[in-house]
A and B are shown apart, each in its own frame.
Chain A
Amino acid sequence: MPYAEITADPLDPARLLARVGSPEDGAVLLFLGTVRNHADGRSVSGMQYEGYQEMALEVLRRIAEEASERFSTPNLAVTHRLGALEIGEVSVVVAVSSPHRAEAYGASRYVMEEIKRRLPVWKKEFYVEGAAEWVRGTVPPADGSPAPHSGAGDP
């Protein structure tokens, strides 16, 4: 069963990694999204993540299930952080394992692309010079459906 979580607590990648892997799997992949110190030529000092928490958990679960089905592996865990994050802190973790590497890469990428398309989470960038702005986002699909391509299909 894929695992999904939305949390305000700091993320521990090892905890997610421990949820995947099996004797059948020869590939284990860990992706971390981190807060970077620049955006469009401006120096960034930190990021505030806001989410529609109840819905975000539902959507993230569905994304994890889709990735698991499309890439034929139940061994997938994803968590997204909310709240105030400093430069270098981890905002998202995707751990996945599969018999061969292609499925793991495909599933990990699918989860991240769909998070960017439809997870109801927003982030405000704080700049070193003092201002702050909501990061320009993606209009989610009105029916919430996955992208037809999404790097998916047969891995």
Chain B
Amino acid sequence: MRVQARFFAAYRELTGASGAEVDLPEGATVADLIDTLRERGPSFGVLPPRPAVAVNLEYAPLETELNDGDEVAFIPPVAGG
């Protein structure tokens, strides 16, 4: 399956990318996606090992199982207001 990772704010600047497509085996979780990305190379290696994430616009824990076509956003600490 293929999921779409998105990076915002500080994470976008750290990785130099606003997003990435990632192929994962069936049954993969958010944690697997993070590991896969971090192993891809130095630009994604800078991502924290346990960031806050949202799956399809909802905050989700790292053990959440992913499905084909999911959008997984990496959410730096928020600072609205």
Contacts and interface: CB of A to CB of B under 8 A. Distances in A.
Interface of A: 33, 49-52, 54-56, 58, 80, 91-92, 112, 115-124, 134-144
Nearest to A82: B80
Interface string B39-81: 0000000000000101001111110000000000101111111
A33 B10 CA distance: 23
6 contacts: A52-B6, A92-B81, A122-B78, A135-B79, A136-B79, A140-B52
Of the candidates A51, A122, A123, A134, the one having the most CB atoms from chain B within 10 angstroms of its own CB is: A122
A150 B32 CA distance: 33
A150 to B, nearest CB: 15
B41 to A, nearest CB: 23
Interface of B: 6, 8-10, 52, 54, 57-62, 73, 75-81
A134 B79 contact: yes
Contacts of B77: 136-140
B79 A137 contact: yes
Highest count of chain A CB atoms <10 Å: which of B58, B61, B76, B78: B78
Main secondary structure on chain A at its contact with chain B? mixed
A5 to B, nearest CB: 13
Given A91-B81, A122-B79, A141-B59, 6 more contacts: A33-B81, A55-B73, A121-B78, A122-B78, A139-B77, A143-B59
Contacts of B62: 142
Contacts of B52: 139-140, 142
A135 B78 CA distance: 9
Contacts of A135: 79
Contacts of A49: 80
A122 B77 CA distance: 8
A140 B78 contact: yes
B79 A138 contact: yes
Given A121-B79, A137-B76, A140-B75, A52 B59 contact: no
Contacts of A142: 52, 59-62
Contacts of A138: 77-79
A15 to B, nearest CB: 19
